[in-house]
């Protein structure tokens, strides 16, 4: 590997001033010594602040149909514990669900659920108001036999306002995992079983437990869904790739480092042009565009903690001045960093 890096350094010599080559090689070797230190997927979800924020259990007796409104910066889920139902998204995607199925709408799209396809729905907010549901116990719709009702655990997970990443863009609009899929993913299956038990136990702390469990099964559900969704497979595959994954680890481990296409290519151990082509093809962004985007996402998350000044976050994010950072941040998000830090 050291010899490969040396050869690639020679290949890029024409693009790099002699005085810079030695320092750049030292930086690359230092980065190489820490390979494997950063879990990319965990870093992404930590930064975008994936949080289980709401859940409730439901009991629907036929006839019923509910229109669930879209929810910005959130992923919705429904776990069928008993019965059957039909789900349809606004864009026409649909699925028939039965007991044991988990359905996730990662982008929070509006959707309709009902005991059968095509039944005119009532709006969720109207039903909640009429039922006087306060978030405790079961949300009941209909007056049929409870034993024949469709019972679900429903909820959503929120993301930080402004959160973005190629992984989020690659998420499918609708994920349906059947019991057979759960059998291949024991961690997901165990987590869902525990969530269902807690949801119907009415024990103290059940809501907090399910909120945390929902964060686990969201990530595990994405893993289980990879074989069925090529775009998701492409992004996750890049994280595991021996060359692209190694580069991503280093960007996530040290986003403020003075990165260039040249020194990233050295870490990958391939030529500059080949690296830029492979990275862009795998991630959907050019290497330096990804570096800039991730720096700004980290900065957004840091500012939201209200523990650092704009100047401190700018330096931590690799910017030479607060003014340069403010320009880049404002261009990306449409508002200055002071609005977040205030």
Judge if the upstream peptide bond of residue 63 is cis by omega within 30 degrees of 0: yes
**What count of Cα atoms within 13 Å lies in the side-chain half-sphere of residue 149?**
17
Query: Residue 13 pLDDT > 60, yes or no?
Result: no
Query: Residue 303 pLDDT > 50, yes or no?
Result: yes
* Model confidence, pTM: 0.82
d(CA 269, CA 2): 9
Q: What are the chain's domains?
A: 2-33+241-341 (1.10.10.60), 49-227 (2.60.120.10)
Of residues 261, 254, 298, 315, the one with CA closest to residue 324: 315
The arithmetic mean of pLDDT across residues 88-94, rounded, is 94
Q: Range with the lowest mean pLDDT among 133-137, 184-188, 333-337?
A: 133-137
3-state secondary structure of 105: strand
Counting every residue, how long is the chain?
A: 342
- Based on the number of CB atoms within 10 Å of its own CB, is 45 exposed (0-12), middle (13-18) or buried (19 or more)? buried
The pLDDT tens digits of the residues spanning 107-157 come to 999 999 999 999 999 998 888 787 777 666 566 666 655 666 898 988 889
Mean pLDDT for the chain overall: 86
d(CA 226, CA 293): 24
Strands 150-158 and 84-89: unpaired
DSSP-H helix ranges across the chain: 2-11, 18-32, 40-47, 124-131, 166-170, 179-183, 186-199, 206-225, 230-240, 244-253, 261-268, 272-283, 287-304, 310-316, 322-333, 337-341
The residue among 236 and 202 whose pLDDT is bigger is 236
């Amino acid at each position: 590997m050291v010899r490969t890096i040396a050869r690639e350094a020679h290949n890029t010599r024409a693009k790099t001033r002699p005085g810079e080559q030695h320092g750049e090689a030292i930086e690359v070797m230092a980065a190489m010594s820490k390979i494997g230190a950063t879990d990319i997927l965990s870093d992404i979800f930590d930064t975008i602040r994936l949080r289980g924020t709401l859940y409730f259990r439901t009991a629907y007796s036929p006839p019923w149909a509910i229109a669930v409104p879209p929810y910005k910066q959130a992923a919705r889920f429904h776990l069928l514990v008993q019965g059957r139902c039909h789900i349809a998204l606004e864009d026409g995607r649909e699925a028939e669900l039965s007991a044991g199925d988990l359905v996730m709408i990662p982008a929070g799209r509006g959707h309709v659920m009902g005991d059968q396809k095509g039944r005119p729905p009532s709006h969720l907010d109207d039903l909640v108001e009429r039922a006087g549901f306060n978030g405790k116990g079961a949300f009941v719709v209909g007056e049929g036999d409870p034993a024949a009702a469709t019972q679900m655990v429903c909820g959503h997970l929120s993301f930080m306002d402004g959160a973005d990443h190629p992984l989020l863009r690659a998420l499918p609009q609708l994920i349906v995992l059947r019991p057979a899929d759960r059998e291949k993913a024991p961690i997901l299956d165990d987590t869902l079983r525990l969530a269902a038990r807690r949801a119907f136990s009415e024990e103290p702390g059940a809501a907090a437990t399910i909120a945390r469990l929902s964060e686990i099964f969201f990530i595990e559900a994405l893993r289980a869904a990879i074989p069925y969704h090529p775009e998701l497979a492409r992004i996750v595959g890049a994280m595991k790739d021996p060359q692209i994954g190694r580069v991503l680890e280093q960007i996530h481990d040290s986003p403020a480092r003075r990165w260039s296409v040249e020194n990233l290519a050295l870490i990958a151990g391939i030529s500059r042009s080949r690296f830029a082509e492979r990275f862009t093809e795998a991630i959907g962004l050019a290497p330096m565009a990804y570096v800039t985007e991730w720096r700004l996402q980290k900065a957004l998350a840091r500012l939201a903690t209200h523990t650092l000044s704009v100047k401190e976050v700018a330096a931590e994010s690799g910017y030479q001045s607060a003014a340069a950072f403010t320009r880049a941040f404002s261009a990306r998000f449409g508002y200055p960093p002071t609005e977040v830090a205030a």
